[in-house]
Structures are given as C-alpha cells and as structure tokens.
Chain A
Amino acid sequence: MTSPSGRTTVISQTVARIVVPIILVTAIALLFRGHNLPGGGFIGAVLAAVAFALVYVIFGLDFIQREILDISPDGSERHRLVENYRWMASLGLAIAVGSSLVPLVFDFPFLTQGVLFLEHLPLYGELEVASAFAFDLGVFFAVVGGLLTIVAEVGNE
C-alpha cells in the first residue's frame, strides 16, 4: 500500500482542514435544497465524495482509518473502510428502493412521490414534506458510498 501522504505539503494539509468541512456542509446543503434550487442527492453526493477524495489525496487512507475511524490499518483491517463505504452504498440503495416501495402499500404505483403540507405548526408555520426527499437521501448515500468505495479501493492499491 503506497500512501501519497509523503508527497503532500503542510500547506495543502492545512488548506484541506479548512476546505473539507466547508465542502461537506455545502454538499449537505445541496442535498437538502435540491428540490427547489440547484442541487439534489446526486450533486450533494458527488460533492461529498470530492471532499473525502481530497482528504484521501492529501492525507492518505491511513490517516482516515487511524485518525477518523480509529482503525489500525494492518492486514486484517485493510478493507474495513471500504467495507463501510460499501455498506453505505447498499444502505442508500435500500433506502431509495424501500421508500419507493411504500406507495405500493397505499395502492399507488412504485415510486409515486407525494407532498405533504403541515400547516399551522408552532414556530414553523407551514412545512412542506416531500416524500421525494427520502428517495433523494437514498440517492445521496448510494452515490457517496459508491464513489467512495471506488476512490478508496483504487487508492488502497
């Protein structure tokens, strides 16, 4: 396993420490506002993946495993991180499909999306709950998980 961390500078690491959280926040914001403004599960997911990829490129996979996930990166644990990403992808897919199956229970076709308006809420006033968000969330996790699996597995080599 070759780690590119030796080749990155302190400056890039510092920059990354600042930029990565911003990207992640942006990604999540994109996910949430996607239904009304540019954004959505996809874009959020790809952006989040970029953030992780950045961390990986600059710090190396060992860093993520050691510092963030507290896994010792030796033989048996080698694929643990990838396994987690893979779980995330599977789960995302499960959420997307599972949420799409719900309408069947109510005698609507697969993937039917509805919008529920909760009115007269205290403080909030009116809240719009779109079932599509659950689907979008599934998309988000599936794509983040999938992309990170790819980046991590390639980087693992």
Chain B
Amino acid sequence: MTQVFLAGVLGVLFSVGTYLVLRRDVVRVVWGITIISQSANVYLVTMGGFDGLGPILSGHGGGGPPPTDPIVQALVLTAIVIGFGTTALALVLTYRVYEEHGTIDMYELGGNR
C-alpha cells in the first residue's frame, strides 16, 4: 500500500531536520538529529502498515484478527532506546564543548584540521 501521505510527511521532517543540522548553533544541530532519528523511527513503523490490531495475542494460543507487523515495532523499540543514548551523549557533549571552548557557535569552533 503506497503511503503517499506518510512519504510526504517524512520527506518534510527529514528536510527540516537536515536544515537544522546545517545551522551554526550546536543545540539546533542536536535538534536536527533528534528530528531525523525520530522520523526514521516513524518510517519503520510505517513499514508495518496501519490495518491490523496491536500485536498482543488475545489470550494464550492465538486466534483473532491478524495484528500489525510486530517486527518493525520491536526494531523501533530498540532504535528508540539507542537513539536516547546517543541523544543524551550529544547533549552532554554540547555542554562540554561549551565548557572547553566557551561557545556553541560552529563557526567559532571551526579550525581547519
């Protein structure tokens, strides 16, 4: 099932994220990454389709209508937690960058190496 609406939404979210990543303010860069990685998660969930039930079996033993794809949900769960870890790291890194350099302006951090 072509998901043209979701394709559009994800496209725009990635655009916004990309634009933020290219900014000078380190905090905005972190926002950009957050948006991009959340969009990636949404994309994965989209792969599961929207026409089933929640992936909880009604009682032990199965039966009932087919649930949505549980695999992508498991994958996204993993991705969310990993994403949390990296976002936290990026944030603390931002703080440490500020401590070391006294600025969070990418241009001022620059230097050709």
Residue B1, interface by CB 8 Å: no
Complex contact B81–A150 (CB within 8 A)? no
A-B contact count (CB 8 A): 18
A143 near B81 with CB under 8 A, answer yes
Q: Is the interface of B mostly helix, strand, loop or mixed?
A: helix
Report chain A residues within 8 Å CB of B54. 38
Interface residue SS majority, chain A: helix
Q: Which of A5-48 contact B (CB under 8 A)?
A: 36-38, 42, 46
Residues of B in contact with A (beta carbons under 8 Å apart): 54, 56, 60, 77, 81, 84-85, 88, 91-92, 95
A-B contact pairs, 16 of them (CB 8 A): A36-B56, A37-B56, A38-B54, A42-B77, A42-B81, A46-B81, A143-B81, A146-B85, A147-B84, A150-B88, A150-B92, A154-B88, A154-B91, A154-B92, A154-B95, A157-B95
Pairs of residues from A and B, 8 with the lowest C-beta to C-beta distance, nearest first: A150-B88, A154-B92, A42-B81, A37-B56, A42-B77, A38-B56, A143-B81, A157-B95
